[in-house]
Amino acid sequence: MNTIIAPSLLSADFTQLKNEFSWLNKSNAEWIHLDVMDGIFVPNISFGIPIIEQCRKLSHKHFDVHLMITKPNLYIEKFYQAGANSISFHIETQDVASSINLVKQCGILCGIAINPQTPIQELVPYLKKINFVCLMSVQPGFGGQKFIASSIEKIKELKIIKNELKINFDIQVDGGVTLENAAEIKNAGASILVAGNTVFKSEKPLMTIDKLKEI
Ligand code: DX5
Ligand code: ZN
């Protein structure tokens, strides 16, 4: 099974974005993960539309925009116009059904993100309509946190639901992914791994991406 690696730009050196993209573009990472935070849904503020628009000029990779914002519906189309190839929003926010429709209307991949404390069962009504679940394995808001061990059980639970309902969606795992835990995360059922610190703080990021893919 091909695992998609999605380096999370949150851990990049923002004074060197051109440099960062020049090696990312040569890497075997298929997706670039872009964490958008509003300071309300999560206790941190990252970057938004203008930065993504600028980054779009530096790369042809798939841009995976993860919205950690309270009112995604107001901004989905704007992030699409800024260059998103997929957008995930949180199930803990407002009107999930209309968020799905808004993303689908843009003609891009749709993901639902879910926080560690939210029961997996809450996803069930939406699974047929989406392309992937972004399963948070840390509390959203910051890079470089430790993987929450119980996330493995949640991945397995979601995989069981996927098999039972015979629905085709990908499981993306976001937060605390390392070279040490990647195998277990994949074996549990994940096919998209987001990795911030593990890639950007690595001495050999290209090799780290390959290892995460091949593990
Ligand atoms: C956290 C973000 C993650 C984060 C992952 O709120 O959603 O995408 O950048 O970073 P690491 O891999 O360092 O945990
Ligand atoms: Zn993220």
Mean pLDDT of 52-58: 98
Both tokens of 89, joined, read 């929003």
Question: ∠ CA 42-20-62 to the nearest 5 degrees?
Answer: 70
**Catalytic residue (choose from 38, 170, 174, 210):** 174
Quick one: pLDDT at residue 94? 80
38 is catalytic: no
- In this prediction, what percent of the chain has a pLDDT beyond 90? 99
pTM: 0.98
Specify whether the backbone of 176 is left (phi greater than 0), alpha (psi in -120 to 50) or beta.
left
Strand ranges of the sheet holding 4-7, from the earlier edge strand across to the other edge: 4-7, 192-195, 170-174, 132-136, 109-114, 86-90, 62-68, 31-37
Mean pLDDT of 83-102: 97
182 pLDDT above the threshold of 80? yes
Ligand nearest to the CA of residue 41, numbered in listed order: 1
Domain coordinates in residue numbering, the chain? 4-214
Q: What is the CB-side half-sphere exposure of residue 67 using CA atoms within 13 A?
A: 30
pLDDT tens figures, 109-147: 999 999 999 999 999 999 999 999 999 999 999 999 999
Compute, in angstroms, the gap from residue 66 CA to the centroid of ligand 2: 5
For the chain, the average pLDDT equals: 98
What are the DSSP calls for 150-187, one per residue?
A: THHHHHHHHHHHHHHHT---EEEEESS--TTTHHHHHH
Quick one: pLDDT at residue 151? 98
DSSP annotation of 3 reads: P
Which CATH architecture group holds 4-214? Alpha-Beta Barrel (3.20)
Quick one: pLDDT at residue 189? 98
β 132-136/109-114 pair status = parallel
1 pLDDT above the threshold of 90? no
Quick one: pLDDT at residue 213? 97
Quick one: pLDDT at residue 76? 98
Q: What is the CB-side half-sphere exposure of residue 24 using CA atoms within 13 A?
A: 30
Burial of 156 (0-12, 13-18, 19+ CB in 10 A): middle
Q: pLDDT band at residue 15, thresholds of 50, 70 and 90?
A: very high
95 is catalytic: no
Rounded to an integer, what distance in angstroms lies between the CA atom of residue 144 and that of residue 147? Answer: 9
Mutate to test the pocket of ligand 1, among 31, 174, 197 (most ligand atoms within 8 A of CB): 174
**Which residues form the pocket of ligand 1, taking CB atoms under 6 Å from any ligand atom?**
8, 10-11, 33, 35, 66, 138, 140-145, 174-177, 194-198
